[in-house]
Amino acid sequence: MGRIARGGAVPGRDRHGRWAQWSALVWFGGACVSLAAVYHWSAVPVTLTIDGRRQTFRTHAATVADVLVERAVAVERGDLVVPAPGARLRAGDAVSVRRARPIRVRADGRVIRLRSHARSPLAVLHEAGVMLAPGDAVKVNGERSPIDGRLPAAVVGPGGNRALPAIRDPRDPASRGAGLARWLEGLGALPPAAPVVAAAGLAQEVPGNTAGDADDAPAASDAGRGERGDVDPAAADGPSRDVRDPMTEPVPAADIVVDVLRAVPVSIVEDGVPFDAVVTGATVAEALASAGIAVLEGDEVDPPPTASLEGSMRIAVWRAAPFVVITDGEPREVRAKADTVGEALADAGLGLVGRDYSVPPADTPLVAGMRVEVVRVHEDIQVLEVDIPFATITEPDPSLPLDEQRVLQAGTPGLKSQRVRITYENGEVAQREVLDETVLRPAVDARVAYGTQVVWRTVDTPEGPKQYWRKLRMYATSYSPARAGTPITAPWYGRARNGMVMRKGIVATDRSIIPMGMWVYVPGYGVAIAGDTGGGVRNYMIDLGYADDDYVSWHEYVDVYILERLPPEHQMRWILP
């Protein structure tokens, strides 16, 4: 007979109990896994598109409204939901939400706010109940726009191009399907669900707005479920839970502002010419622009361009004159409404200051197209030290031969201080004026003695020895009647200044060096009389005369001997340059 273990425990039964516990746990876990798998695969695939952004996911939601709650998609008045929120979901269904845009219409002193899918200002105004009269105009966001033009594209926030939010953790009540949420609510695990949307209203059809584009409003699976959905008006009683992800949900587009500009009759006077016009705009400037009148820089407008437009208003426009101003060497086109050049420069911010002046002068009447040069003048006072040149005093010395000199006393320059006013015009020195000066050191004059002793000498010539009293080194050229540059029809053609017929033996000289009537000898040329002058014969030059038939060209330095008699006392040059 076997023994019973101490304590009353039976080993076989203990092992059997533990095995049963483990089996129950395994069975329960398998059942949970199976239920989870069944629950997962019972979800249907759905594609959700919001304003062109789409995502495909699986859901247990039963209706379109349930999937919008699950995805935390807020729907407001005027938004289009396709299929209708009450339509039941099937596998592969596509749900589209197209949000209406906030619009403000300002007309006749009123502000009308609405949400709309309208694509043109005309459609917006039709939806807002605002009528346009002939000549009226509109502005969209502050800019003039054609009545039938397209509204600007919507601007969304950072999430505009991102995918929709992924399905949240199953423990998050906002991510569960509507059926599961209701079951949990029945158990008391969740509070009652919020309404589907926070705002209500029906989206009205407007010109240019269809049931939806192919990308954002796909048709429902069957006709019985409807093509588009609108929010139930009764759903506006309570707010929905806000579980949107700010990084993936679009920021609401900014309001589109449509302003109605009523046409009003006005009287316009342009440079004294009156005419009537029907204009639109909020200000005088806008009214003139609507009438095709451009207001340019410098033009004057009364009332001012910023004044509010009123009916039967009189608007005067005085045109500025265009002209060219040259400053610092650079031309610049400006416009000014002025009577004179000076006033025009002041209006253009280029007024004359101090000693500045203009060409033409500032009091010249302004004419369109005029060119005006502005000369900027400024002065500078400088103190300078300047040398004082010494004078040279000459004294005749009968003991010195002619053309010789002797220094009796050397000269010394002095020094003086000057206060000088320097005037600049456009940066260039135009004038120097000595205001005062002080001698710091006086100059000492030089004294020079010059010879007056005439010494006769002899030179051999082809005509025999000739006496001369002065020899000069000169540059010799030659000429003839045909080469002298005198017209052949001139009465003096072919004659020298002393009236003689031009021939060899007559030379032209500078009378301050060799006076007229003096006889000279030029080696290689011969003896000649100084009987002619010429515009190109200056200082130590001598032009040797010829007839046309015996002309010889000269271009060289020669010694010129002045022969025989001395000139009269008043013609005698004791000191040559």
Position 378 scores a pLDDT of: 92
Residue ranges in the chain whose pLDDT is less than 50: 1-8, 156-252
Phi, psi dihedral angles at 27 (to 5 degrees): -65, -45
For residue range 367-417, what is the model confidence (pLDDT) as tens digits? Answer: 989 999 999 999 999 999 999 999 999 999 999 999 999 999 999 999 999
pLDDT in the model for residue 318: 86
CATH of 321-375, one of 3.10.20.90, 3.40.50.740, 3.30.420.40, 3.10.129.10: 3.10.20.90
| Residues 438 and 492: beta-carbon distance below 8 Å | no
Enclosing H/E stretch for 164 = none
Residue 239: how many CA atoms within 13 Å on its side-chain side?
Answer: 3
User: Strands, E, within 219-320: which ranges?
Assistant: 256-261, 264-270, 273-279, 300-302, 314-318
Tokens 């200044």 -> residue:
497
Separation between Cα atoms, residue 565 and residue 275, nearest integer Å? 99
Q: Is residue 81 within 8 Å of 67, Cβ to Cβ?
A: no
- The type of residue at 184 is L
Question: What is residue 154's predicted lDDT score, i.e. its pLDDT?
Answer: 65
CATH 2.40.40.10 fits 462-571, yes or no: yes
Q: Note every long-range contact of 325-333, with CB atoms under 8 Å and residues 24 or more positions apart, other chains counting.
A: 325/350, 325/372, 325/373, 325/374, 326/371, 326/372, 326/373, 326/374, 327/374, 327/376, 328/376, 328/426, 328/427, 329/426, 331/371
Q: Report d(CA 515, CA 531) in Å as an integer.
A: 9
Specify whether the backbone of 354 is left (phi greater than 0), alpha (psi in -120 to 50) or beta: left
pLDDT at 535: 85
pLDDT of res. 190: 36
321-375 and 462-571 have identical folds: no
CATH class of 263-318: alpha beta
According to the model, what pLDDT value does residue 319 have? 87
- DSSP letters for 166-211: PP--TTSGGGS-HHHHHHHHHHTSSPPPPPS-S--BPPPP-TT--S
The separation between the first and the last C-alpha atoms of the chain, rounded to the nearest angstrom, is 172
For residues 566 and 507, give the distance between their C-alpha atoms in angstroms, rounded to a whole number. Answer: 18
Separation CA 284–CA 298 (nearest Å): 16
pLDDT at residue 554 in the model: 97
Q: How far is 162 from 271, CA to CA, in rounded Å?
A: 59
pLDDT, tens only, 21-75: 777 777 766 666 666 555 656 688 989 998 888 888 888 888 988 888 888 888 8
Sheet strand arrangement including 371-375: 330-336, 321-327, 371-375, 357-359
Annotated domain spans of the chain? 41-262, 263-318, 321-375, 380-451, 462-571
- Quote the pLDDT of residue 44: 84
SS3 151: coil
Dihedral of CA 184/189/192/195: which sign?
negative
CATH architecture for segment(s) 380-451: Single Sheet (2.20)
pTM over 0.75: no
